[in-house]
Amino acid sequence: MRQKDLGAAAGYTGAYVSMIENGLRLPPVEFVRAVDHALGAGGALEGTWWMLTHSAFIEGFDEYRALELTTVELCQWEVGLPPGIAQTRRFATALQAGYVERGSITQAQADARVQALMDRQAPLRGPNPPRLRLILDESCVRSVIGSPSVTAEQLGWLVELARRPNVTLQVLPFDRAGTRPFTQSVTLLTLPTRETVGYTETHHRGYVQRESATVAAWLTDYHRLQAEALAPDESIALIHTVRKGLVNMSATPQIDRASATWFKASYSNGQGQCVEISTDFVSSHATLLVRDSKDPDGPALSFSPSAWAAFAEAAGNGKFGDA
C-alpha cells in the first residue's frame, strides 16, 4: 500500500505517513490505532508500539498488553491492590509516587506508567467494551494508598464500574482466605479466536501462559473463587462500608488545642453526657474539634465542617432518636 493510500485509509496525509516511516516523527498512539484498524491488524501494531515505548514496565508485560488489546473477556483475581485496569488516575499516581520515593523507578517512569494505565482503560469507555470479571481479595479495598480521600475516590470508582452491564465485581472476604487457590494475581484473557490465555507476575517479570492444561486448571480455580466470593451486591455493600469510613476519616492537623476556645453543647440528657466543640481552626485547617466536656484534657475528635454540619442537621431532625 502506498503512503498516500494508507494515509487516506487511516485519516492522515501521505506526507505524515512518510515522516513516520522515515523516522522523522514518533507515531502517537492515535495514529497507530488508526493504521492498525485500516490494515485489519487486530491490535498487532498497537501491541508493537506498546513494547517499543513503555520500558517502565517489567519484562513480559508487553506480551500481555498486546493480548489485552484484543480480548473480548478479561477475568482477574487480584490481591493487595485494585487491578490497574480499574485504578483511578489519582490512585495510580499515588501508588507510583511510592515507588519513586523508594528509588525503584524514576519520576519519568512513574509518569509513563500512569499514562499507560489510562491508555489501557480506553477500551472500557468504547462502544464495545470487553467483559470484565474482577474478584478482589478484601485487602484490595482495605489498603489505603496516598490518603483516605484518594482511596475513597478509588472505591467509589469500583462501585461505579461494578454497575456497568459488562462488569462483574466480587470481593473475597478475609474470613474466607483459606479458600484462595492463587497466591498471586492471575488474569485470564479470552481472545476473539475463543482461545484463553493466562498471565501472572513475579516481582520482576510477567509470564503469559498458553499451555492448555495449565490454563484449564487456572479457569477451574477461578470458577471456585467466584463461588466462594461475596455476591456482587454484597461486595458493593462491603466496599460502601469501607469507603464510608474513609470519607469520615481525616488527618488531625498539628494544632495547639490549649489555645482553642471551646463551646459546650446546649443540650444534655441529664446524665452529664455533654460535648464541647471548637471552631477556631475551621478557617486555617478546615477542622472542627469535638471533645468530652468531662475530660477536657483527653483526646479530641476532628471533623470537616461539612461532616459536622450534616451530623448536626440529622440530630436536629431526630435521626438518632430522643437521646
Residue 50 scores a pLDDT above 90: no
Q: Is pLDDT of 248 > 70?
A: no
pLDDT of 254 higher than 70: no
pLDDT surpassing 70 at residue 4: yes
pLDDT band at 249 (very low <50, low <70, confident <90, very high): low
pLDDT, one tens digit per residue, over 146-155 is 988 899 999 9
- Rounded Cα distance between 4 and 18, Å, is 9
- How far is the C-alpha of 50 from the C-alpha of 156, rounded, in Å? 29
pLDDT-based confidence at 302, cuts 50/70/90?
Answer: confident
Measured CA to CA, the distance from residue 173 to residue 176 in angstroms comes to 6
Cell of 291: 471533645
Residue 289 to residue 268: CA distance in whole angstroms: 19
User: Higher confidence at residue 71 or residue 249?
Assistant: 71
| C-beta of residue 276 within 8 angstroms of C-beta of residue 296 | yes
Query: Which tens digits make up the pLDDT trace of 195-214?
Result: 999 999 887 788 999 999 99
CATH number of this structure's domain 65-247: 3.30.870
Per the model's pLDDT, the better-predicted residue between 61 and 218 turns out to be 218
Taking 60 as the threshold, does the pLDDT of residue 226 lie above it?
A: yes
Instruction: Enumerate residues 6+ apart whose C-beta is below 8 A from 13.
Output: 4, 7
Q: Which residue has the higher pLDDT, 319 or 230?
A: 230
| CA 317 – CA 268 distance, rounded (Å) | 17
pLDDT of residue 30: 86
Backbone angles phi, psi at 57, to 5 degrees: -95, 160
pLDDT of residue 125: 83
DSSP 103: T
Lowest pLDDT segment from 81-95, 164-178, 231-245, 279-293:
279-293
What pLDDT does 56 receive? 57
Tens digit of each residue's pLDDT (9 = 90 or more) over 279-297: 887 777 778 888 888 888 8
Q: What is the pLDDT of residues 59-108, one digit of tens each?
A: 778 788 888 888 999 999 999 999 999 999 999 999 999 999 999 888 98
**Alpha carbon distance 54, 201 (integer Å):** 17
Q: Please tell me which residue, 182 or 271, carries the higher pLDDT value.
A: 182
- Closest Cα partner for 57 from 49, 65, 67, 46? 65
Distance separating alpha carbons of residues 136 and 83, to the nearest angstrom: 8
For the residues of 229-285, what is the DSSP string, one character each? SPPHHHHHHHHHHHHHHHHT--PPP---GGG---EE-S---SSS--EEEE-TTHHHH
List every span in the chain annotated with CATH 3.30.870. 65-247
At 322 the pLDDT is 57
Q: Which residues touch 82 (CB under 8 Å, ≥6 apart)?
A: 91, 136, 140, 141, 154, 158
Q: Worst-scoring range by mean pLDDT, 40-44, 46-50, 235-239?
A: 46-50
